[in-house]
Structure 1
Amino acid sequence: MCHHHNIVRSDNKDLQKVEKQIDRREFLTKTSLGLGAMALGSLLGTEKLFASVSDTNSISELNGLPGLPHFVPKAKRIVYLFQSGGPSQLETFDYKPRLYDLHGQDLPASVRQGQRLTGMSADQTAFPMTSSIFNFKQYGESRTWVSELMPYTAEIVDDLCFIKSMHTEQINHDPAITFFQTGHQLPGRPSIGAWLSYGLGSDNQDLPTFIVLVSKNAGGQPLYARLWGNGFLPTRHQGVQFRSGKDPVLYLNNPDNYDGTDRREMLDYLRRLNEVQFDSYGDPEINARIAQYEMAYRMQTSVPEATDMSDEPDYIYEMYGEDSRDPGTYAANCLLARKLLEKDVKFVQLYHQGWDQHGGLPAGIKNQCKNTDQATAALVKDLKQRGLLEDTLVIWGGEFGRTVYSQGKLTATNYGRDHHPRCFTMWMAGAGVKPGFTYGQTDDFSYNIIKDPVHVHDFHATLMHLCGVDHERLTFKHQGRRYRLTDVHGHVVKRILT
């Protein structure tokens, strides 16, 4: 055992007992692992099998991996406004005037090109095209087309970089959202925020590196905690969900009738027990657990302060919209996101459900935009006026787009749109992306990309690049293979960068 640890523990019989239960020689001779355990140590990479805890923290939870960032980052922090369900590009940002003349006509087979359909429109014999019933106008010096549904976003188009040529292979919600959040359509991989936490560490030791906010009562497709999970990375890199209400983080507050005065003493004792356990078994997850206990202790003070909105002036609430006074709404979460970004939380992920309009699209999307447009634009404006936009990356978008043809019955005022992975619109703003810029182009039907396609892997590669990370070089060895967020794909979209 490490000499230092024996000095620390010699006065404690409980710790001595645990230490005596297994020493290194016994571990190597009495377990079936034998020298295989030493080989395991070499596979654990940065976490050495039989080193002391202090030795293994060369990768501190604050500083990330040695050698990262790979180059000077443009973005110090990211806020990702994920619009779950698949917003229709045809009703928001991808203006297609030719559809007014083609309204009700069948989508030409030459356009559809035999694309696979979802189970919801597979039995359709006709595919009647429908133009949007909402008006579009050009805004800003960039003359960007925006729907009447997004009047607040229309005011900030000169700060936004639109990508109108996003595409994905995933045609159903669960694999499509999982793909956007983890770089793979099957569950189990680390999420974007977990990768950034692992590679770059934290800029605030009192708050999690990766925080998740989910709009309350939004309805729509379900969301799963694995979307912000750590996958095979150490557990301390998973996203921490902040909720509305008196307990923003579950199980963080002290139990009833416990004043917490001996909490520090208890954690110190628990840490020493864990260190003995680590010395015996070398499981790197023990270190992650120690770090999480310590973070939770610090968060008992930092979280109430970070989530306290009492010091926000009325004009800020008015800017974000009346909903921002109601904790847990999208607007309130946008305002909370700004407070977290001010405190240098590296990755803030918002999820807002309810964009899945297979039927009744006009009424449904109008309501979604009403609930989100003002607060989204306010967040960009607020970051800008505080000088934070220049090194904060803001992202807006869903998991896929919607079809040009109506799903189900088409009338003059009502229609629905099915999932469409072949082209859709996202936008980014802030750190390192060109403001007032549009990249990519779709055909007259917003069905196929005709210029500058951007795949999900390209989006991830670009996001990592803006954070100073070469996406091909941030890897983690798991079950004998090196993994990365972009798998074996992805190219940085250099033409959208400043």
Structure 2
Amino acid sequence: MEKEQFEHGLNENRRKFLSKVSLGLGSIALGSLLIPDLFKGKSGEDALMEALPHFAPKAKRVIYLFQNGAPSQLETFDYKPLLNQQIGQELPDSIRAGQRLTGMTAGQSSFPLVGSFFKFNQYGESRAWISEAFPHTAKVVDDICIIKSMHTEAINHDPALTFFQTGAQVGNRPSMGAWLSYGLGSENSNLPSFCVLLSRGKGNGQGVYSKLWTNGFLDSVHQGVQFSASEDPVLYLKDPKGMNREDRRRMLDKLAELNNMNYETFGDPEIQAKVQQYEMAFRMQTAVPEVTDIKSEPDSIIKLYGPDCLIPGTYAANCLLARKLSENGVRFVQLYHQGWDAHDNLPNQMVGQAKDVDQASAALITDLKQRGLLDETLVIWGGEFGRTNYCQGKIQVDNYGRDHHPRAFSIWMAGGGVKSGMVYGETDEFGYNIVENPVHVHDFQATILHLMGIDHERLTYKHLGRRYRLTDVHGKVVKDILV
């Protein structure tokens, strides 16, 4: 009886809604955006998803500061004085133990150890070791959790980067931001739930591609929206000359009519997704210019992030923009900063890259904290793998390179339910193998979803007869780092 009453009430609400619609099918399409479940019952995949979030979330939003190209853990957060003491000596076979090498160093006749060019010191109550290249990060060390025991199977950039973002080394899988958009949606109907920001450093670059923020087999409304470094952060939002907002509204209503006629004929869900995207773009016309107005920030904030934050497309500008987007309800903001691929001349490249990102990354933590937003915003900093403890090519103390190293590397996380002032995991004295608390990429992904109130085993989507998830068939939540 209760079920019948509930269904009767739901149907009555639908009838009331439809009876008040006066603007044709275009408005009905808009209504379906505002009330996504209005025209469908909960069954199948919808029934699986209706319990989201599965439990009380620690974080509401994610800002992921991805350092594309793989920064060396040995020059950032994993202090190994033994490498400086044994510069030029051969990496012991017992340490490498026949592990896989890239094609760039597999042909080397020797593997001479090389220590860090940079000095390390301990900071904060946590007494964490931080490289002198990151003085601003050292100031917020008690607000972050450094994980020194990350590892992955991928040994080359593209598969490793794709693995971090999508849970698979091959393409056509939904990215992490798309999964969160699918599961949780946006807190602000006038902005996308998933935004992407790109910047380019001074070091050797590795490309980033749209497959890293793809929706994969999810509806295209979940794809990341890329912001540009131009005066128009999102292209084609402005009305063309001769068209005002009322004209655009009428045009979209008529376009929605045509698209819904197509949907009734062909039944392709991407037609509905297209209508949703048009409506989102219409709402973004007002929201985006206001959110992306960096010049409206007070001088104290500009000083905090540094003068580069006034230059569109820089890492500093993107960090500040990420705070503004997150503050306004964007669920997942993904930054990619290129230039970390230091196979040679690592000390000089590290100086430039660290100068680009150190102040702004720390400023983001400080800014969120002073606004009372850090506790509900998860911030992540790190790359796709680490760097070898031996030199690639000819060894020079002040001019050396390091090859890819997937077996052990460092990242840091902050806010959003993660313990602060903590160092988790440990590598051996050579910085080559993990000896304590290993964290796999799938564990990392499972932990992020957990912090967002999602059981990673239950966030699924059926595609080609199989249920997929971000963590595939792996992943354990790293509970030790959670508040």
Verify same fold: TM over 0.5: yes
State how far apart, in whole Å, the 2-side matches of 1:5 and 1:366 are.
Answer: 60
Partner of 1:333: 318
Hey, what's the Cα distance between the residues in 1 that align with 2:383 and 2:37? Answer: 42
CA apart distance, 1:164: 0.4
Higher gyration radius (CA) = 1
CA distance in 2, matches of 1:374, 1:56: 49
Query: What is the aligned length?
Result: 457
Deviation of 1:99 (Å): 1.5
- One-letter amino acid of the counterpart of residue 91, structure 1: E
Mean CA deviation greater in 322-331 or 258-267: 258-267
1: CA distance between counterparts of 2:326 and 2:344?
37
Once residues 307 and 58 of structure 2 are traced to their aligned partners in structure 1, the CA distance between those partners, rounded to angstroms, is 33
Indicate the residue corresponding to 1:434 in structure 2.
419
Equivalent position amino acid for 1:298 in 2: R
Q: In structure 1, how many angstroms separate the alpha carbons of the residues matched to 2:81 and 2:210? A: 40
Q: In the alignment, is residue 252 of structure 1 matched against residue 250 of structure 2?
A: no
Query: What residue is the counterpart of 1:346 in the other structure?
Result: 331
In structure 2, distance between residues paired with 1:471 and 1:211: 22
Alignment-derived partner of residue 201 in structure 1 = 185
Written as runs of structure 1 = structure 2, the 5 A alignment for 1:482-497 is 482-497=467-482
Once the two structures are overlaid, the 10-residue window that deviates more, 260-269 or 348-357, is: 260-269
Give CA deviations for 1:414-470 in whole Å, capped at 9, x if unaligned: 110000000000110001111001111000111000111000000000000000000
Is the contact made by 2:443 and 2:478 (CA closer than 8 Å) also made in structure 1?
A: yes
TM-superposed deviation, 1:243 = 1.1
Q: Which moved more, 1:219-228 or 1:446-455?
A: 219-228
Distance in 1 of aligned mates of 2:173 and 2:241: 37
Secondary structure class of the residue paired with 2:39? helix
Gaps of 5+ in 1: 16-46
Deviation at 1:260, TM superposition (A): 4.2
**SS state at 1:129 partner:** coil
Residue of 410, 419, 431 corresponding to 1:425: 410
Matched, 1:166 2:166: no
Contact 2:237 2:281 in 1 (8 A): yes
Aligned-partner SS, 1:227: helix
Does residue 227 of structure 1 match 2:212? yes
CA distance in 2, matches of 1:310, 1:57: 46
Q: In structure 2, give the amino acid aligned to 1:288.
A: A
TM-score, length-scaled by structure 2:
0.90
User: Secondary structure at 1:310's aligned position in 2?
Assistant: helix
Partners in 1 of 2:23 and 2:52 — Cα distance? 41
State the 4+ residue runs in structure 1 displaced beyond 6 angstroms. 2-12
> Counterparts of 1:265 and 1:71 in 2: how far apart (Å)?
42
8 Å Cα contact 2:173-2:215 kept in structure 1 = yes
Matches within 5 A, 1:17-96: 54-56=38-40, 65-96=49-80
Match for 2:166: what amino acid? Answer: T
CA 1:375–1:415: 2 relative to 1, 3 Å: same
Aligned position for 1:127: 111
Matched, 1:286 2:271: yes
Instruction: Flag the 1:280–1:320 CA change in 2: closer, same or farther, 3 A.
Output: same
Query: Could you tell me how far 1:279 is from its partner in structure 2?
Result: 2.5
The CA deviation string for residues 319-365 of structure 1, in whole angstroms up to 9 with x for no partner, is 11121111110001001111111101110000000001000000001
Q: Is the 8 A contact 1:69 1:469 kept in 2?
A: yes
8 Å CA contact 2:201, 2:352 repeated in 1:
no
User: 1:466 aligned to 435, 451, 458, which one?
Assistant: 451
**How far off is 1:258 after superposition?**
3.4
Identity %: 62
- Distance of 2:135 and 2:64 partners within structure 1: 21
Distance in 1 separating the partners of 2:276 and 2:475: 33
Cα RMSD of the aligned pairs, angstroms, is 2.5
Aligned to 1:352, what secondary structure does the other structure show?
Answer: strand
Shift of 1:277: 2.3
Query: Do the aligned partners of 2:376 and 2:416 also contact (CA within 8 Å) in 1?
Result: yes
Deviation at 1:301, TM superposition (A): 0.8
Q: Given that residues 188 and 232 in structure 1 are in contact (C-alpha distance below 8 angstroms), is that contact kept between their aligned partners in structure 2?
A: yes
Pick from 281, 284, 292: which aligns with 1:296? 281
Distance (Å, rounded) in 2 between the aligned partners of 1:69 and 1:126: 52
Question: Which residue matches 2:125?
Answer: 141
Residue segments in structure 2 that go unaligned for 5+ positions in a row: 1-13, 27-31
1:251-300 residue CA offsets vs partner (Å, 9 max, x unmatched): 22223443343111111111122222223332222221111110000011
Tell me, what secondary structure is at the counterpart of 1:349? strand
Q: 1:480 maps to which residue?
A: 465
Deviation digits for residues 8-58 of structure 1, max 9, x if unmatched? Answer: 99999x99xxxxxxxxxxxxxxxxxxxxxxxxxxxxxxx9xxxx9941397
Q: Specify whether residues 243 and 216 from structure 1 end up closer, same or farther in structure 2 by C-alpha distance, changes over 3 A only.
A: farther
- Aligned partner letter, 2:52: L
- Would the aligned equivalents of 1:53 and 1:278 in 2 still touch at CA under 8 Å? no
How many angstroms apart in 2 are the aligned matches of 1:205 and 1:400?
36
Q: Counterpart of 2:140?
A: 156
Q: Write the letter of the residue equivalent to 1:157.
A: V
Other-structure match for 1:399? 384
Cα-to-partner distance string for 1:146-191 (whole Å, 9 max, x where unaligned): 0000000000010111110000000000000000000000011000
- Of 258, 261, 265, the residue aligned with 1:276 is 261
Q: Which residue of 1 aligns with 2:29?
A: none
Q: Give yes or no for contact 2:201–2:337 (8 Å, CA) kept in 1.
A: no
The code of the aligned residue for 2:334 comes to Q
Q: Which amino acid aligns with 1:392?
A: T
Name the TM-score, length of structure 1 as normaliser.
0.88
CA distance in 2, matches of 1:54, 1:436: 46
Please state whether the residue corresponding to 1:149 is helix, strand or coil. coil
Structure 1 counterpart of 2:84? 100
For the structure 1 residues 376 and 53, does the alpha-carbon distance in structure 2 shift closer, same or farther, using more than 3 Å as the test?
A: closer
> CA distance change for structure 1 residues 73 and 11 in 2, over 3 Å: closer, same or farther?
closer
Correspondence for 1:318 among 282, 285, 303: 303
